[in-house]
Structure 1
């Protein structure tokens, strides 16, 4: 098992160089699937992070009762109230297949999808999200799975097994539950080895084990992100990370399609690991900046407000060389 840190110059190749010839959507179309009446902030953090990093379009697909609240947070996010809880499905007369029929055309537009943030535990929503995960995989779209979506995988790991375009982002309790469900023995091994064992059991899916350091592995390769973060552990930072990973994955998808090229080449099989590391680095640095500014009062909204500064601190100097002329 060997661990290495990717070079900033390598990570920067995933970032689309802005050009006057680009069109809306070229820098990424991302969707956050989640959000119920109890958890409206989580998908907002995912989508808003994507926009602050430079994605062109960010969608939220949420439960009907959460839509108006999420819309009120920002006019920049496109909110689709396509999910139905068990109670709403019974009262509004919506056919069971309707959410799937509405979501499918959206998936066809996207470059990456994040699922699980603010999803909750309603059985009807969970079943719909399970089908969305399968539909996303069928389209070979990059996929980030966090929060309540990880409970789906604990029951049905075959849904994601072997899909190397997927990233799981468990925190410590979620990681333990996944390992237990998949019969991964993590006793007396390091956190790095435990993450590798889980990734191997899932057939090469990339696992980002969040913690004091972020361990990133697909079972073959290992990165450890030791970027200094803030000291606050407020809820919502994992959603910011999910949005950042989805954005870098979307850029990686475009990079693989030849939408642009920086100096040098990234192998297609390396994109997911590099995108995950870049997102961890940016999120942790944004957390550091927020804590440096706000101290104990730091909330995830403060971290969100530092995402663009964190990006500039890491990449701006490297990207200066590819900025277009104003002529």
Structure 2
């Protein structure tokens, strides 16, 4: 009964205006975002709606990659892998039989892990089958694990995969920006402290601070994206600022009032699903209708990021409506598919009426 009520709820009107006075700030239409979503037909095969992987998960942090993979699956991805440290694999397998767990990441404390080259080869082979990959959730700070992730990011770039970098992977970018610089098929999703570290590493805001001023968030985000060569940056906050250094989207969809850990991982999973669909969209795996709502290939990461932010915030809103202060990230995860239906179900029916 509860789910039926939630599925009847909609908050289309909650999308707030752009940041006033900022150049280039705008919002995509729901009809345009819907173009990224693959139509469900009887002609589909396993994997056609997205094969995704998330790289993360160590002995201490097993929930984060689970949230990423589960969010992608609940939104409609067909297959989700987790590439993690061996000590995390059993726990993640126990959370869900729907997730394929690959214990390839090497830890400095595990002497019987795979040799470095073999681990890198297995990860690269897996990535060759994916449409999109996320890295960072639950990585921790182990030097061997981080080295494997550096190599995995390079392998993903070599295969032109869409990439989401979140959490601990953002520290890698701050330390070595060239691992992602110039790769326009990447999306970074920093929270406020992570963004501050990135901005400092790239010298963004230093001149303004010296003059006693602080850059507005949208301008600072644009400069970070520019100095990283056009990657898409999602600055998570009261409003989510999304930019590729040229255009700016601002998502102010109403969210819940709880800030429990794990919601950023759900966002990463939602983004992973939309980026995977975006790769299929670029290959014109389905017909765009109407043509006026077509998305330029270069802007797919921006639109995927906005859609993911909108749905995650709405799922948070629904979870808070139901659970109030008791909200956990599992509560938000349980609402992510309902948030999708609230935003897109009727619209998809109108865009793609049944031919039966």
Residue 311 of structure 1 is matched in structure 2 by 340
Q: How does 1:76-91 map to 2 (within 5 A)?
A: 76-88=98-110, 91=111
The answer to whether the Cα contact below 8 Å between 1:116 and 1:148 also exists between their aligned partners in 2 is yes
Q: Does 1:267 align with 2:296?
A: yes
2:138 aligned to which of 104, 114, 118: 118
The answer to whether the Cα contact below 8 Å between 1:19 and 1:324 also exists between their aligned partners in 2 is no
Runs (5+) with no aligned partner, structure 1: none
Residue 200 of structure 1 is matched in structure 2 by 226
Residue 38 of structure 2 is matched in structure 1 by 16
CA gap of 1:286–1:93, structure 2 versus 1, over 3 A, is closer
Residue 96 of structure 2 is matched in structure 1 by 74
TM-score, reference length from structure 2: 0.90
| Counterpart-to-counterpart distance in 1, 2:326 and 2:268 | 23
Local SS of the residue matching 1:240: helix
- Bigger shift: residues 266-275 or 27-36: 266-275
Q: Does 1:31 align with 2:53?
A: yes
Give the superposed CA RMSD. 1.0
| Counterpart-to-counterpart distance in 2, 1:77 and 1:20 | 24
Moved over 4 A (4+): none
The answer to whether the Cα contact below 8 Å between 2:106 and 2:113 also exists between their aligned partners in 1 is no
| Counterpart-to-counterpart distance in 2, 1:81 and 1:283 | 28
CA gap of 1:145–1:269, structure 2 versus 1, over 3 A, is same
TM-score, reference length from structure 1: 0.97
May I ask how many residue pairs the two structures share in their alignment?
324
1:69-104: CA deviations, max 9, x gaps?
00000000001111111111xx21632212111111
| Counterpart-to-counterpart distance in 1, 2:59 and 2:113 | 19
| Counterpart-to-counterpart distance in 1, 2:175 and 2:244 | 21
Residue 286 of structure 1 is matched in structure 2 by 315
Q: How does 1:1-327 map to 2 (within 5 A)?
A: 1-88=23-110, 91-92=111-112, 94-185=114-205, 187=209, 188-263=214-289, 264=291, 265-321=294-350, 322=352, 324-325=354-355, 327=356
The answer to whether the Cα contact below 8 Å between 1:17 and 1:323 also exists between their aligned partners in 2 is no
The answer to whether the Cα contact below 8 Å between 2:107 and 2:113 also exists between their aligned partners in 1 is no
Residue 12 of structure 2 is matched in structure 1 by none
